[in-house]
Structure 1
Amino acid sequence: MIDRRMASNIVALYAVKGMQYLMSFATYPFLTHTLQAQGFGAMNYAASVIQYGLLLTDFGFDLSATREIAVARGNDAAVARIFWRTTLAKTMLALISVVLLTLSVAVVPQWRVLAPVFAFSMLNIVASVVFPLWFFQGMEELRLASLLGVAGRALMLGFLFWLVRSPADVGIAVVLQAMPLIIAGAFWWTTQWGLPRPPWRKPTRPDVLASLRMSWPFFLSALSGTLYTSATTTLVGMYCGVQEVGYFSAANKLLYNIQGLIGLLVQATYPRISQLAQQNKPAAVALIRKAMYLQGGAGLVLTLILLIGAPWMMPLLTGHDLAASAPVMRWMSPIILLGALSYVFGMQSLLPFGHDRYFSRILMIAGAGNVLALLVLLPGAPTGEGAIRAAQVVLTVESFLVLAYWWRARTVWAEARAA
């Protein structure tokens, strides 16, 4: 059931998200116009590679640790144990990620040319450790997390407009976009504003290993998911060049921002569904059904807006240099609806009821299929076609995910209702 606490959480999240979108509406067209295809492409090419280090650092904790915190809420000792062992594990993985990425950039010629941009992008790995979003989510304090994020972003917004003047300033743009979460995290760690930090509990080696084992299936899922998200941008850059990355990323970034509206519903309901799946299975299914109607309806409306409006919307938002992103957006617009349903059938249905392995297997199949299709279609693609072919592949993969998750979710719902 959507009770008063959850409803207020959702309303507050959307209010905060409204402020975030006002800032995004300013920064997205500003960056596309100022950095142009080459600079915007370089920034997103580096981000797609750094995502692998971010993936290793997160290691699925955003799902496993969130679920643990949600279940343990009210037991201060258990929450403290989960918090500190997860924080230590993420810190260790972040150090490993930075070392591996630094070595990779030094070895790969295409990446070495953009070494400063890659180095600045690694600040996102630091931000992932400093700002424990998984803890706020598990405690159902996403309103607080969002407010902290907005405050940090607002602080950096003026510097972005002031310091980024041309495509040569792409490194500055990267730094200023990574800093908000670092600032927000540092503020919370020093003040504990709004949500007290759990009391110190020294993690043991078995604690950390147990945390990694518990997160392993989620890490594999995220790794598989990366094979059809970040890997797409990386392969477009390798085979078609930075400019094609600019076209693809201009559409993909806007798509990602719009999907964030639906993602808020997922973030708000996932901890509660996870809790109900252990205590009241029929109630969990009822909440999932409500989420399906809300997310599906929002996804359909947003998809139609993008599908119809892309030819005039993209040139207006991105500028003449990135106008070729319009056909890419038309191909990708149905992903809004498909992604909304994929959340319902996958993350909100399969994971709370323990179907982690099926969830992971489907993502692995989808990711492998995505990479294989891109390896076949991208080499030799005519100029201007690489980004479009990538969009077509991503749309196909997303369609497969929705069908595969829905097929298993039907059984999960039936079993939960009978419980």
Structure 2
Amino acid sequence: MRKNIFYLLLVQLSNYIFPLITLPYLVRTLGVDKFGYLMLGQALIQYFILMTDYGFNFSATKKIATSTSIDERNEVFTETLNAKIILVTLCLLLMLIIINIIPMFHSISTVCIILFIGVLGNIFFPVYLFQGMEKMKSIAWVTVLARTLMLLSVFMFVKDNNDINAAALAFSIALIVPGIISIYLIRKNHIAAYTGFSFPKAFIAIKASTPLFISQIAITFYTTFNSILIGHVFNARQVGIYSAADKLRGAVQSLFIPVQQVVFPRINAERANIKEKLKVYGGLFILFSLIICVSIFLIGDKIVILYFGNQYTESANLFKWMSVLIFIVSVAIVFSQWGMITLGKEKILTKIYIVGAILHCMYAPFFTKNFGLFGTLSSVILTELTITVFMGVFLYKIIKRHR
């Protein structure tokens, strides 16, 4: 377990540390406006990545973790990959419609198309397979290699504010390389085998993951949507300011992901004792989160100023208060992924997220228009808090009945 946590930590750190190295360079080289446009493109593409993942990192992981033969594993791998192929085709059609009818995205259509190449690569990166088998070593180095190539591409090819397309391609490389090499490793080591395309089985996989997808799209809607909302209400510069703080928040949040991913299959395997497991794993996880978040609240603004410079004072203040958001999200992970999903209550969880997304849509535009970027952040905190409270209440009732 400790080795898996280490490898996952290595993967997640590479996912965020390498971009953080390039972040100040991109801001200075592209300029805040072009950087903001790049972040707008990323916000749109993030929806497509989520649509192609479609909750398989949980549903397929559970199937892999409980599979008893190579044939079962092959079936899960095949039906999941087929489902992703169908979904990425639909996403491509949707993106072409969006960049042709929405002016904000039409102006960065080339950037969006280049970034979409990364979505194609991502569907061949079977995180669910390695998570379910608790074997992350084989792809950890591949991810680091991909991030290294991204880093080198940025510094070699992004030279001025006209190189936004090169920056987008560098981001796509970070998703393409792991997909290609991981498929090679799967074939070479006979971890799983693709047995052929089947529409019926692919749709069965999609149907099984739909509740998780709806809950995840709800989460992403009220987080990724904020960049699009800021771009619509204000301009690309404000998107850049908010995104700078949010990128740092994501880097901090990545510290929790390895533990989150490694503990998930273990709790699933021992769900008969879920109350005790949540007390142990959840308690330690929340304590770790609290320590990190208090530290950010105390010195987070100074870190941003040191990293980005004095011109990012607003980003510094935003990041300081994002510590509250980080803590709430950590508690929600325990309640939702480790608790409700393990107990098979995805439908209830989906309804909670849908309610949260609807509420966010109701007050986020008002908060943003009247209180600026801090209004946007306040709306996200309010939404996360509301959702987490609902999760806690329902999980308590479910565990009480489960006994």
Band of TM-score, shorter chain: over 0.9
- The amino acid across from 2:60 in the alignment is A
**What is the match of residue 31 of structure 1?**
26
Secondary structure at the aligned position of 2:196 is classed as: coil
| Residue of 271, 285, 290 corresponding to 1:300 | 290
Percent identity over the alignment is: 23
| Alpha carbons of structure 1 residues 164 and 321: separation in structure 2 relative to 1, 3 Å | farther
CA contact (8 A) 2:61 2:131 kept: yes
Find the aligned partners of 2:281 and 2:165 in 1 and give their Cα distance: 40
Find the aligned partners of 2:12 and 2:107 in 1 and give their Cα distance: 36
**What is the match of residue 78 of structure 2?**
84
| Alpha carbons of structure 1 residues 216 and 22: separation in structure 2 relative to 1, 3 Å | closer
Find the aligned partners of 2:40 and 2:16 in 1 and give their Cα distance: 23
Q: Which moved more, 1:258-267 or 1:307-316?
A: 307-316
- The amino acid across from 1:395 in the alignment is I
Unaligned runs of 5+ in 2: none
CA contact (8 A) 1:12 1:143 kept: yes
Secondary structure at the aligned position of 1:192 is classed as: helix
Q: Which moved more, 1:287-296 or 1:21-30?
A: 21-30
Residue 56 (str. 1) matches residue 18 (str. 2)? no
Secondary structure at the aligned position of 1:352 is classed as: coil
**What is the match of residue 141 of structure 2?**
147
Where do residues 328-343 of structure 1 align in structure 2 (5 Å cutoff)? 328-343=318-333
Residue 171 (str. 1) matches residue 161 (str. 2)? no
CA contact (8 A) 1:56 1:93 kept: yes
**What is the match of residue 275 of structure 2?**
285
Q: Could you state the TM-score of these two structures normalised by the residue count of structure 2?
A: 0.93
Residue 16 of structure 1, CA deviation: 5.2
**What is the match of residue 361 of structure 1?**
351
Where do residues 133-212 of structure 1 align in structure 2 (5 Å cutoff)? 133-192=127-186, 196-212=190-206
| Residue of 380, 390, 397 corresponding to 1:411 | 397
**What is the match of residue 312 of structure 2?**
322
Secondary structure at the aligned position of 1:333 is classed as: helix
Residue 25 of structure 1, CA deviation: 4.3
| Alpha carbons of structure 1 residues 173 and 67: separation in structure 2 relative to 1, 3 Å | same
Find the aligned partners of 1:188 and 1:81 in 2 and give their Cα distance: 18
Residue 309 (str. 1) matches residue 299 (str. 2)? yes
Residue 328 of structure 1, CA deviation: 1.6
| Residue of 91, 96, 104 corresponding to 1:97 | 91
Secondary structure at the aligned position of 1:334 is classed as: helix
| Residue of 215, 223, 227 corresponding to 2:221 | 227
Residue 256 of structure 1, CA deviation: 0.9
CA distances 1:173-193 after superposition (whole Å, capped 9, x unpaired): 221122123112212223438
Residue 253 (str. 1) matches residue 247 (str. 2)? yes
Find the aligned partners of 2:215 and 2:54 in 1 and give their Cα distance: 10
| Alpha carbons of structure 1 residues 153 and 345: separation in structure 2 relative to 1, 3 Å | same
Find the aligned partners of 1:92 and 1:18 in 2 and give their Cα distance: 31
**What is the match of residue 70 of structure 1?**
65
Residue 354 of structure 1, CA deviation: 0.6
CA contact (8 A) 2:55 2:209 kept: yes
CA contact (8 A) 1:225 1:367 kept: yes
| Alpha carbons of structure 1 residues 20 and 244: separation in structure 2 relative to 1, 3 Å | closer
Find the aligned partners of 2:184 and 2:137 in 1 and give their Cα distance: 19
Residue 130 (str. 1) matches residue 120 (str. 2)? no
CA contact (8 A) 1:250 1:325 kept: yes
Q: Which moved more, 1:6-15 or 1:325-334?
A: 6-15
- The amino acid across from 2:51 in the alignment is L
CA contact (8 A) 2:242 2:315 kept: yes
Residue 52 of structure 1, CA deviation: 2.3
| Alpha carbons of structure 1 residues 389 and 287: separation in structure 2 relative to 1, 3 Å | same
Unaligned runs of 5+ in 1: 1-5
Q: Could you state the TM-score of these two structures normalised by the residue count of structure 1?
A: 0.90
Residue 66 of structure 1, CA deviation: 1.4
CA contact (8 A) 2:77 2:194 kept: no
| Alpha carbons of structure 1 residues 294 and 378: separation in structure 2 relative to 1, 3 Å | same
Number of residues of Structure 1 aligned to a counterpart in Structure 2? 403
- The amino acid across from 2:137 in the alignment is R
